[in-house]
Structures are given as structure tokens and as C-alpha cells.
Amino acid sequence: QASQEELRAAYRRLCMLYHPDKHRDPELKTQAERLFNLVHQAYEVLSDPQTRAIYDIYGRRGLEMEGWEVVERKRTAAEIREEFERLQREREERRLQQRTNPKGTISVGIDATDLFDRYDEEYEDVPGSSFPQIEINKMHISQSIEAPLTSTDTAILSGNLSTQNGNGGGSINLALRRVTSAKGWGELEFGAGDLHGPLFGLKIFRNLTPRCFITTNCALQFSSRGVRPSLTTVLARNLDKNTMGYLQWRWGIQSAMNTSIVRDTKTSHFTVAMQLGIPHSFMMVSYQHKFQDEDQTRVKGSLKAGFFGTIVEYGAERKISRHSVLGATVSVGVPQGVSLKIKLNRASQTYFFPVHLTDQLLPSAVFYATVGPLVIYFAMHRLVIKPYLRAQKERELEKQRESTASDILQKKQEAEAAVRLMQEAVRRIIEAEEARMGLIIVNAWYGKFVNDNSRKNEKVKVIDVTVPLQCLVKDSKLILTEASKVGLPGFYDPCVGEEKSLKVLYQFRGVLHQVMAADNEALRIPKQ
């Protein structure tokens, strides 16, 4: 929000501080020339309304964007934003050919009923019968990739393989999607497999109003029994800011009508659904609570009842690394029994392990399905995941330090040069402030402070910024805006990639005060 007059005043002040002609020492003169040129470059950007608007919105990356030379002068900030987004879209289109957006799912079904449903008399004469038999009884693998053809056309190739109890098959599908307008798109699908004949499908999506859309999917499945047509239509509407309502009608082999309401907020996710159909009709209610913690922990529960029986599910999921989410769900049902479902999402890949524990409702199975994963998770988190993430973070910090070492060294040299050039100006400022009993910076440090006993083994990394802060004092006031303090004259980053703070001990009207501010926190002293 600085006015042109404020910019000019700051420019003149820094020019007086760094002007080469004010320094006779050859080394100081060279350093002053470099800093003077940096100040001049900054003023050139900020004094031009167009380049200032670009910098205010996008920073240095906006100034480095190709194509600005074709933008006519005297545009508003909003117009410049639109132009920047257009240039970004063009750059994204050039990258389209390099994108495939792979997605995959691997599901491994495990039969562990022998742990709880054993009948010892049946195993008396079987060798090795003292050990329960745990076996994999089904597997499913699917994968898809996208190949953008143009900015509006995309080809999607997908395939899957499934096997259960020794029998299985697979299929392959090719879909061509075209975005027809901002309101909709259409998709043609062709498929074939060894269990089913050729498949031809058409899918259409359309926004009817800003708050309502419809999706229609029709398909023709060819098989030895003839042609099996199917049709699915979904109508959805925003009921309010966080709530969606859905109506679905499905006609074909398994015809059904389904209605559901989904409410999704920052802290919770609630779903209620009802279906009438052949062969399954049911009612379902589910709730998920989202904790606002660093690991994005969520706990969930659901109740589903219908012609197939009743199922109660409860579970939790948690982020275990930057791209991985681990979840576990216990399913208790009649007549389904007890199952434990473990899911790991890693980027766009999903690994799913449903473990069937028993066909009966056994309290012991429910207990071990609930407590077992918790014990294993906390043990793994403490002994494996946490040390691994800590080591990974250290490696990334070390890599970041190495990649920015030369740049940080240059910034350090510039900061040290700026401090030397400030000495005379700071001496005059202190004399003026002492005369009026004003603001004097006694000591100031910037960097990583360790105050927590749990982090006592970590090293303190701070630099002395007393002189640079005193140089910024004007009329017995020091005002810093909401931005990283790394960019202030005389400052540099002493701990790349780590949390930083500014600690100031100052004297105002003869009384000592102390204040501490986070790196991006605004600071105004003296405090009122």
C-alpha cells in the first residue's frame, strides 16, 4: 500500500546510505556500488505501475514470465492478473504432452478365518495343523493413464485384472474425452475382456445451472447371451455452501434408484443415503470427523442396513508422510462376520488389503481387529516412521542448504557489506534518538531460537541484526510489515528451511523492553 511519495523517500534514503561517492575505502566503494544497483533495480520495478502490479501479485516469478513484452501499457492490476493467467495456461498447454496422470489400485483379499473359526477335531490328522492357515483368496489390479491430445481432447487407457479362488480375467478400455464448453464434456468408451464381450459406452456431463449438474452414462455390453444395455443418470444440486444432494437412477442388470445427501465441512463429512433396487435395497448413514492437526487425522463410522443384512463400520486414517495416507476400518456385520480393511494411498496409487477374520460375530475378533492395528501403528510410527521422516527432513534441509549455499554466501556478504556501510548513519541515528530519549536498539538477533526443553539438542542459529534494525528506526519508531525479514537490508537467512524469529531488546524513554516476533509477523515498536 506504499504511495509513490513513500517509495521515493525510501529510495532517496537508501541511495544516500549506499551511494558509492560517500565512501572512500575501495572495498566499501565496490560493495556500495553493488547494493546501490540493487536498490535502483527495485525502484525501477516499483515506480512503474504495471511492473509493480505484476510484482505485488506474483513476485519475482511474475517479472520473469515470458510474454509480458506484448502486454500493452496502462493496464489495471485485474487485467494484468488475467494476462498472467493466460500466459500460464499457454505454458501448461505446452506441458500437456508430457503428462500421463497415472492412477492405479492394487487390492489383495486375505482369508484369515482360520484364526478364529478353527475346529480342532477337523485338523487332528492333518500335518502342520497346529498353525492356522492364512491365505490370499482374491486379487485385483487396475491401472489407467491419460494422454492429452489437445487442450480439449484427452485419451484415457485403462486396464484391470482380477482373480478369486483360482479363477479370474481381465479387460482393457479406451476412452476419448472432449471438453465441449465451460459447462460440460462428453466421453466415448470402448472396451473388451476375456470374461465379457466388447463394450461401447457414452458418458455426458453438463452443468444445468451454477448449482446443478447432470451426468448420464449409457453402455452396450455384448456377450454370448446377447446385448445387455444399461443406463445410469445422476442429478446433483448444491443445497447450500457445504451440502450436495444426489438423485441416481440405474437401469440394466442391477436396476436401482438411489438418493443421497452429502455434507462436507472443514471439520466433518456426513452422508445419508437410501437405495431401492434389484437385488439390493438399503439405507446408510456415515459420519467422519476431521481433526485440524498436522497429520490430518480422521475418524469415521457408518451403519448400513438392507436386504443383505446389517453392517457397522468404524475406523480412522492418518497422513504418515507428505504423499501417503494410511487408514484402517473394522467391519462388523450379519451375516458377513468381522473384517479388517487396511488402505494405503500413496500419491495416485491405492493399495487395499481386506482381511476377513471370521464369519461369526465373535467379540475376540472385534477386539483384535480394533486394538491390533492401533498397537502396530503406534509402534511403527515411533520406531520406524518418525525416525524416517526426521532423517528425510534432515536430508532435504541439507540438500536445500547445498543448493542455496552460493546464493546464501552472496546474501551474507551483501548483508555484511550493508552493515559496514550503515555504521556512520546508525551513529547519527543513535545520537538523535538519545537526545530525545527515543528508540534505541540495544540488541537484536534473527534466526532459530530453541526455548523448548524437548528441542534442547537442537542448535541455535542466529545472527546479530542490531545495526540493520537501528538503521530502520525513524522518528523513534520501527515498523516492519507482514513479510519474511530475510529481505531486510543487512539481513540474510542463517538457517535455510527452518523456522525463524526476531528477538529485540530495545530502550525507549530510558526503559528497557524485549519483544519477539515470528519471521512473517508484523512488528511495531515501541509497543503501545
CA separation for the pair 270, 527 (Å, rounded): 47
The whole-chain average pLDDT of the chain stands at 86
Which helix (H) or strand (E) segment holds residue 32: the answer is helix 26-47
CA separation for the pair 300, 28 (Å, rounded): 65
Q: Residue 358, SS3?
A: strand
Angle 251-256-259 from CA coordinates, rounded to 5°: 120
Which long-range contacts does 327-334 make (Cβ < 8 Å, 24+ apart)?
328/373, 328/377, 329/300, 330/366, 330/369, 330/370, 332/361, 332/366, 333/309, 334/309, 334/310, 334/361
Q: Let me know: does 449 contact 503? Beta carbons within 8 Å.
A: yes
CA separation for the pair 525, 528 (Å, rounded): 8
CA separation for the pair 335, 310 (Å, rounded): 8
DSSP state of 385: I
pLDDT of residue 126: 55
pLDDT at 70 over 50: no
| Dihedral angle over CA of 173, 346, 111, 284, nearest 10 | -80
pLDDT in tens, 506-528: 999 989 999 999 988 889 988 76
CA separation for the pair 350, 104 (Å, rounded): 6
Q: Is 507 left (phi over 0), alpha (psi -120 to 50) or beta?
A: beta
pLDDT of residue 120: 47
Q: Is 453 left (phi over 0), alpha (psi -120 to 50) or beta?
A: alpha
Higher pLDDT, 4 or 270: 270
Q: Let me know: does 111 contact 358? Beta carbons within 8 Å.
A: no
pLDDT at 79 over 90: no
Q: Let me know: does 466 contact 472? Beta carbons within 8 Å.
A: no
pLDDT of residue 454: 47
What Å distances lie between residue 344 and 106, 293, 318, 323, 352, CA to CA?
Answer: 10, 19, 10, 10, 7
pLDDT at 458 over 70: no
What is the number of H-type helices and E-type strands within the chain? 9, 23
| Amino acid identity, position 5 | E
- In sign, the C-alpha dihedral spanning 332, 333, 335, 340 is negative
| Helix (H), strand (E), coil (C) string for 69-130 | HHCCCCCCHHHHHHHHHHHHHHHHHHHHHHCCCCEEEEEEEEECHHHCCCCHHHHCCCCCCC
Domain boundaries, the chain: 1-70, 406-527
Grid cell in block for residue 189: 468408451
Q: How many CB atoms lie within 10 A of CB 467?
A: 19
pLDDT at 128 over 60: no
pLDDT at 285 over 90: yes
Which helix (H) or strand (E) segment holds residue 350: the answer is strand 349-358
CA separation for the pair 73, 84 (Å, rounded): 14
Q: Let me know: does 193 contact 161? Beta carbons within 8 Å.
A: no
pLDDT in tens, 81-124: 677 677 777 766 656 555 667 889 999 999 998 888 765 445 45
Residue 125, Cβ density class (10 Å: 0-12 exposed, 13-18 middle, ≥19 buried): exposed
Topology adopted by domain 1-70: Helix Hairpins (1.10.287)
The alpha carbon of 317 is separated from its chain's Cα centroid by a whole number of angstroms, namely 16
Confidence of residue 300 (pLDDT cuts 50, 70, 90): very high
What is the average per-residue pLDDT within 24-46? 86
Q: Let me know: does 136 contact 153? Beta carbons within 8 Å.
A: no
